[in-house]
């Protein structure tokens, strides 16, 4: 190993090489990574060893999952998803931020649990414009949740499946302390907040090598592409993959490669709900909160359960934030009561609707009738590629 990593880090690395169990290897490698000075000349060593660490953690997790599956316990933390799932989270060290109160305001559930410490998830259904949102009031998150403290593993495994996370922050107390804890535990649990997945895919292949392809002009626009290709190969190799096809679609960093190899990394959308906005000085705190976090959180909303303040179109706000829209299907002239939810980006087409309803509609597709209320031509006969707009009504016809 190169000499610019420092004696302490070198010693930690030697201990890692000597370690025999997975747990100890992880501990030593973490120690090593915390000691390595972070600069340009160590960037490669850091990325390589992060990839090794991620591989070891995967091995550790699958061993734990194996042990757990033997014990076959049904956990009150495993929640059956319904509609659009919105999970309320908060910092345990700032108790009573008002999550259960918010759940109750939105859904009417758990009234008797307000003001009492929530130890298992409480669930309610909030409906707006015929769309159902499952609101989950999660027990608050302790320091060390990422390593399992305070049911941390159970809580975080549910967050991984959520459609939206709401960081609930008590505006009458130290907002930064609350945000720091949530951001830190989620980051350690590999939950990335409000960032898109990196523009790279790594797919295991049969070929006996790691092939790298640059598929867009942005990804090719790099003055040292040979060097990057070499790094991708090394990091992928260190992550335990010998044969793979790597596709790069845009500008990437070495950390992106490490994250892509780590199957436990998830990308989640999150908003902040400032709570107790009726208390004194909270207006000021809300502005400070906005100032500090609006780069990372495009949506920050002030609320007060006491004064019943929350956007009255909260469902629409969520749907817009998630970049989703509603359309309606029609069968023999009767419009379905419940809308179908589609992603806005890329623009959805009749094809997406046909696949979502049932593959048979796609495979035997003949034509579709689309009714658009604000269009000049109200009713239109269209094909699979027809682009849809919010509130369109679609009737599919098969051959």
Ligand X SMILES: Nc1nc2c(ncn2[C@@H]2O[C@H](COP(=O)(O)OP(=O)(O)OP(=O)(O)O)[C@@H](O)[C@H]2O)c(=O)[nH]1
By CB under 5 A, name the binding residues for Mg ion.
100, 118
Report the partner that residue 219 touches, choosing among ligand X, Mg ion, none (CB closer than 5 to 8 A by kind): none
Sheet of strand 164-170: strand arrangement: 122-128, 131-137, 84-89, 164-170, 270-275, 300-302
- Site membership for ligand X, residue 173 (CB under 6 A): no
- Site membership for ligand X, residue 281 (CB under 6 A): no
Which residue lies nearer to ligand X by CB, 140 or 285? 140
Smallest separation (angstroms) from ligand X to the CB of 168: 6
Angle, helix 7-18 to helix 22-35, in steps of 10 degrees: 170
- How many angstroms separate the CA atoms of 316 and 84, rounded? 12
Report the partner that residue 322 touches, choosing among Mg ion, ligand X, none (CB closer than 5 to 8 A by kind): none
Smallest separation (angstroms) from ligand X to the CB of 286: 13
- Site membership for ligand X, residue 134 (CB under 6 A): no
Smallest separation (angstroms) from ligand X to the CB of 350: 44
DSSP state letter for 387: B
- Site membership for ligand X, residue 115 (CB under 6 A): yes
- How many angstroms separate the CA atoms of 187 and 183, rounded? 6
Contacts of 216-224 spanning 24+ positions with Cβ under 8 A = 216/248, 216/249, 216/250, 218/249, 218/250, 218/251, 219/248, 219/249, 219/250, 219/251, 219/252, 221/251, 222/251
Report the partner that residue 275 touches, choosing among ligand X, Mg ion, none (CB closer than 5 to 8 A by kind): ligand X
- Site membership for ligand X, residue 342 (CB under 6 A): no
Cis peptide before 396 (omega within 30 of 0): no
- Site membership for ligand X, residue 146 (CB under 6 A): no
User: Within 291-320, which residues bind ligand X (CB under 6 A)?
Assistant: 304-306
Those residues with Cβ within 8 angstroms of residue 73's Cβ, 6 or more apart along the chain or in another chain = none
Which residue lies nearer to Mg ion by CB, 97 or 241? 97
Helix (H, G, I), strand (E, B) or coil at 253: coil
Smallest separation (angstroms) from ligand X to the CB of 41: 46
Count of CB atoms situated within 10 Å of the CB of 253: 13
The answer to whether the beta carbons of residues 91 and 186 sit under 8 Å apart is no
For ligand X, the binding residue among 85, 98, 159, 314 (CB under 6 A) is 98
Site stretch for ligand X (CB under 6 A), options 42-50, 96-104, 186-194, 317-325: 96-104
Q: Give me the residue label for tokens 């992928």.
A: 236
Those residues with Cβ within 8 angstroms of residue 108's Cβ, 6 or more apart along the chain or in another chain = 124
- Site membership for ligand X, residue 282 (CB under 6 A): no
Binding track, positions 72-91, relative to ligand X; x by CB under 6 A: ------------------x-
Report the partner that residue 305 touches, choosing among ligand X, Mg ion, none (CB closer than 5 to 8 A by kind): ligand X
DSSP state letter for 208: S
Those residues with Cβ within 8 angstroms of residue 236's Cβ, 6 or more apart along the chain or in another chain = 51, 202, 210, 244, 246, 257, 261
For ligand X, the binding residue among 49, 85, 100, 236 (CB under 6 A) is 100
- Site membership for ligand X, residue 276 (CB under 6 A): yes
Closest CA to 232 of 203, 211, 251: 211
Site stretch for ligand X (CB under 6 A), options 114-122, 155-163, 355-363, 371-379: 114-122
Smallest separation (angstroms) from ligand X to the CB of 90: 5
Smallest separation (angstroms) from ligand X to the CB of 110: 9
Residues at the contact surface with ligand X, assessed by CB under 6 A: 90, 95-101, 114-115, 117-118, 140, 275-276, 278-279, 304-306
């Amino acid at each position: 190993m190169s000499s610019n990593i420092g004696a302490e880090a070198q010693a930690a690395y030697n201990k890692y090489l000597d370690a025999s169990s997975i747990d100890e290897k992880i501990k030593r490698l973490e120690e090593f990574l915390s000691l390595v000075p972070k600069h340009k000349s160590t960037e490669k060593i850091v990325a390589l060893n992060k990839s090794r660490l991620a591989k070891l953690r995967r091995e550790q997790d699958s061993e734990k999952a194996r042990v757990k599956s033997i014990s076959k316990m049904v956990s009150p933390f495993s929640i059956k998803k319904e509609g659009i799932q919105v999970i309320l989270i908060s910092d345990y060290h700032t108790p009573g931020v008002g999550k259960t109160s918010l759940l109750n305001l939105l859904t009417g559930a758990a009234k008797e649990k307000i003001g009492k410490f929530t130890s298992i998830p409480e669930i309610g259904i909030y409906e707006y414009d015929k769309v159902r949102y499952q609101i989950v009031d999660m027990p608050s998150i302790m320091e060390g949740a990422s390593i399992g403290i305070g049911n941390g593993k159970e809580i975080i495994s549910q967050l991984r499946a959520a459609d939206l996370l709401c960081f609930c922050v008590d505006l009458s107390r130290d907002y930064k302390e609350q945000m720091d804890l949530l951001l830190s535990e989620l980051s350690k649990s590999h939950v990335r907040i409000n960032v898109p997945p990196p523009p790279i895919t790594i797919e295991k292949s049969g070929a006996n090598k790691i092939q790298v392809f640059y598929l867009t002009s942005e990804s090719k626009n790099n003055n040292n592409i040979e060097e990057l290709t070499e790094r991708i190969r090394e990091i992928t190799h260190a992550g335990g993959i010998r044969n793979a096809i790597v596709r790069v679609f845009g500008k990437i960093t070495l950390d992106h490669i490490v994250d892509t190899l780590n199957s436990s990394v998830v990308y989640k959308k999150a908003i902040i709900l400032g709570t107790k906005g009726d208390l004194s000085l909270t207006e000021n705190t809300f502005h400070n909160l906005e100032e500090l976090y609006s780069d990372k959180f495009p949506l920050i909303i002030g609320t007060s359960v006491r004064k019943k303040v929350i956007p009255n179109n909260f469902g629409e706000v969520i749907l817009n934030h998630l970049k989703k829209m509603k359309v309606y299907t029609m069968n023999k002239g009767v419009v379905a009561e419940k809308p179908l939810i589609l992603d806005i980006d890329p623009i959805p087409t009749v094809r997406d609707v046909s696949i979502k309803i049932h593959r048979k509609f796609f495979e035997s597709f003949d034509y579709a009738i689309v009714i658009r209320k604000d269009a000049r031509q109200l009713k239109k006969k269209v094909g699979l590629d027809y682009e849809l707009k919010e509130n369109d009504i679609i009737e599919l016809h098969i051959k």
